[in-house]
Structure 1
């Protein structure tokens, strides 16, 4: 796989499992330096050891709950002190809870916004001065969701957070135009990760869409392949992106025709 990550230092949030772990793996495999942030230091240390042993590269790990504003700010400042150049930020950490609006708990709403939106914005804001001063190409990648384009029942709040991520990403791209900073949104359908242990504890939704679920390793390869390239969006699976475009044109028709599919959660 041809990439542009060799000798690049790239921060990945939520790097201890799922897509974040696989992104770190492919960055290391291609000669980059993954700088991994997550709550579970044991998982991070284990991954760091595997990456360094497998690819003879240097990896770095930092423990932080990025929903804690002060803790996240402190760890970013620590990273900036310990590393001369940071070239990329992959805002991967996220969570979801699928439930009807009348039933969802306020604490779940607050956590989704804190993790999916506020932490993503905070991390970006903290690193922008460094990226702007770094006279090389830098890249910010925000892991969003196809839910940010097509909201469905029981995902109202989750979809709202991903709508916010898309809006933020599109505006940020225009703000940093001409500063050598690429900004990419990654809009994914369901991915085969531990995300659904929280989002769908019953397992019913995951079971109903199992044949459509994306492979986290293939998804991570796609993200890493497009790092430090001018790419507005990465949309997977392709058929779902086609559906989202049709939805923008004919939302009422789609909601009638796909009512059964939209209510699978």
Structure 2
């Protein structure tokens, strides 16, 4: 049974561009009250102008515990609750392991994994007290199917997916739902940093998802409460094949996957 989004307060991290911005727009169109959170005030202001319905824009750095706490406090002061948390903030850099510094790993873990954990730590007590809520972590198919030049990125997404699955078990009986959305490559500003040469995006071509597609699946996940969504289908199938037959899948898929 689908849940109505009318009047529901939804905090979306990484909402200043790409999937986060599109998700906020779609949520507003469905009657929800999106709270857009990101580091860039200027970019948030630009996205805010495209949303007609009631919404808020809050500057928040997911790597800064005080910033996260302050942003959640502002949202609670205004609305008294957060019905849904969408952890979408994240970034990637494609670097072969021999060229990757320790800080390369630390920064991605801090944003992609610990950033979500910090937000959940703020949202969980509120939802637990309310006896309801939904945490949606936008992970990546890289959390299941790792590729070359993505040791740090894949590790951060594996960590986030493991956290999501364990959190779902911890939340049983609390009224809090926990979901993971695992998209493949998306045509967003993510690749301005991850793939500055454009090689990866050119090699993928039409295989890349559009941010609007991913936003629709995030909203559908909120409405249906499904625990997990892999996209596109072929990526999800590849991940399942690798889990069941890792040696064969590695032999069959490595050439197809390593496009960086």
TM-score range (shorter-chain normalised) is over 0.9
For residues 176 and 3 of structure 2, what CA distance do their matches in structure 1 show?
A: 17
Residues 109-124 of structure 1 aligned to structure 2 (within 5 Å): 109-124=105-120
Which residue number in structure 2 is paired with residue 58 of structure 1? 54
Which residue number in structure 2 is paired with residue 45 of structure 1? 45
Secondary structure of the residue aligned to 1:184 is strand
Which residue number in structure 2 is paired with residue 247 of structure 1? 242
Which residue number in structure 2 is paired with residue 264 of structure 1? 259
Residues 211-222 of structure 1 aligned to structure 2 (within 5 Å): 211-222=206-217
The partner residue of 2:190 within 187, 191, 195 is: 195
Which residue number in structure 1 is paired with residue 4 of structure 2? 4
Which residue number in structure 2 is paired with residue 237 of structure 1? 232
**Residues 226 and 258 from structure 1, CA distance in 2 versus in 1: closer, same or farther, beyond 3 angstroms?**
closer
Residues 107-256 of structure 1 aligned to structure 2 (within 5 Å): 107-135=103-131, 137-256=132-251
Report the count of equivalent residues: 259
For residues 230 and 221 of structure 1, what CA distance do their matches in structure 2 show?
A: 14
For residues 37 and 7 of structure 2, what CA distance do their matches in structure 1 show?
A: 19
The partner residue of 1:94 within 90, 96, 100 is: 90
Q: Give me the TM-score of the superposition, normalised by structure 1.
A: 0.94
Deviation per CA, 1:85-131: give whole Å up to 9, x if none: 21000000000111111101333222111110111001001110100
**Residues 246 and 258 from structure 1, CA distance in 2 versus in 1: closer, same or farther, beyond 3 angstroms?**
same
Q: CA deviation at 1:218?
A: 1.6
Which structure 2 residue ranges, 5 or more long, are not aligned?
none
Cα pair 1:3 1:226 within 8 Å, conserved:
no
Secondary structure of the residue aligned to 1:31 is coil
For residues 5 and 210 of structure 2, what CA distance do their matches in structure 1 show?
A: 22
What is the Cα-based RMSD across aligned positions, in Å?
Answer: 1.4
Q: CA deviation at 1:263?
A: 2.5
Q: CA deviation at 1:50?
A: 2.2
For residues 117 and 245 of structure 1, what CA distance do their matches in structure 2 show?
A: 23
Which structure 1 residue ranges, 5 or more long, are not aligned?
none
Q: CA deviation at 1:228?
A: 4.2
For residues 45 and 241 of structure 1, what CA distance do their matches in structure 2 show?
A: 35
